[in-house]
Amino acid sequence: MDNFRNNYSCLQLTIAMPGFSSSPSVPSSGESGGGGAMKELDINQVPSSGAEEECMEEEDESPINGGPAPRKKLRLTKEQSRLLEESFRHNQTLNPKQKEILAEQLHLKPRQVEVWFQNRRARSKLKQTEMECEYLKRWFASLKEQNRKLQKEVEELRAMKVGQPNGRVPPPASNLTMCPRCQRVTTTTTAAAATATTNTNMPFHQPRQPSTACYN
């Protein structure tokens, strides 16, 4: 097993290349492997420029009894991953020329570089989605708390209204505000005033709604 882990870069891999007709002498790498007009190529037939140092021993992955060869997966070295990440930081997508150059640098097939970038973009998107989900959760919790406070205040005001002989409740002076729209003095509830200050901590900016500020 350790031997296997140490030599993961030596694995025999196959790759489907569009535009090649399928060869009967090359079995599919899996039951779902290979598209319509595809030819399986050995992607471990790396260019002779220095790639041999990573591949100390050749494993024969020829199919047993003519059956389909098991799909083997290359594990990228740390240096390969580092270079790919660095390249990804500069460009999340590669044009064919960039792909070719990067593949040559890494002693990989262009298809492998392409797949890596596709998977990397997918991981990026997933991470972004997870972050947005967390954001929305926190926002929802915050809105729930606001709503709870407002409900509580409504109950208190109702109770006060019942306690007043004429049913009128004088607003506290600290709650008097000027409506920016009609320039008339209006009142805000204490909870609303409180949340007006806490709104700055909301995950998302909430646009002002002047029409709801004025009930005159």
Partner DNA sequence: ATATTCCGCGTTTTTACGTCA
Partner DNA sequence: TTTGACGTAAAAACGCGGAAT
Query: Does 36 participate in binding DNA (rule CB under 7 A)?
Result: yes
Sign of CA dihedral 155, 156, 157, 158: positive
Instruction: Return the number of the residue (131 or 160) whose C-beta is nearest DNA.
Output: 131
Tell me the C-alpha distance between 112 and 72, whole Å: 13
Instruction: Return the number of the residue (5 or 89) whose C-beta is nearest DNA.
Output: 5
Query: Does 19 participate in binding DNA (rule CB under 7 A)?
Result: yes
Binding-site member from 3, 31, 78, 197 for DNA (CB under 7 A): 31
Q: Which of 101, 7, 3, 84 is nearest to 47 (CA)?
A: 101
Torsion of CA 203, 209, 215, 216, to 10 degrees: 140
Q: Which of 45, 44, 19, 17 is nearest to 33 (CA)?
A: 17
Query: Does 13 participate in binding DNA (rule CB under 7 A)?
Result: yes
The neighbour count for residue 40, using CB atoms within 10 Å, is 20
The binding track of 60-79 with respect to DNA, each residue x by CB under 7 A or -, is ----------xxxxxxx---
Q: In the range 39-58, which residues lie near DNA by CB under 7 A?
A: 40, 43
Q: How far, rounded to the nearest angstrom, does the alpha carbon of residue 41 sit from its chain's CA centroid?
A: 32
Query: Does 33 participate in binding DNA (rule CB under 7 A)?
Result: yes
Q: Which of 146, 142, 165, 164 is nearest to 154 (CA)?
A: 146
Query: Does 4 participate in binding DNA (rule CB under 7 A)?
Result: yes
The binding track of 86-125 with respect to DNA, each residue x by CB under 7 A or -, is -------xxxx--------------xx-xxxxxxxxxx-x
Burial-class residue 153 by CB neighbours within 10 Å (0-12, 13-18, 19+).
middle
DSSP state of 99: H
Query: Does 29 participate in binding DNA (rule CB under 7 A)?
Result: yes
Q: How far is the CB of 214 from DNA (least distance, A)?
A: 44
Query: Does 207 participate in binding DNA (rule CB under 7 A)?
Result: no
Instruction: Return the number of the residue (14 or 195) whose C-beta is nearest DNA.
Output: 14
Instruction: Return the number of the residue (117 or 191) whose C-beta is nearest DNA.
Output: 117
Tell me the C-alpha distance between 174 and 193, whole Å: 10
The binding track of 121-150 with respect to DNA, each residue x by CB under 7 A or -, is xxx-x-------------------------
Q: Which residues bind DNA (CB under 7 A)?
A: 4-5, 8, 11, 13-16, 18-19, 28-36, 38, 40, 43, 70-76, 81, 93-96, 111-112, 114-123, 125
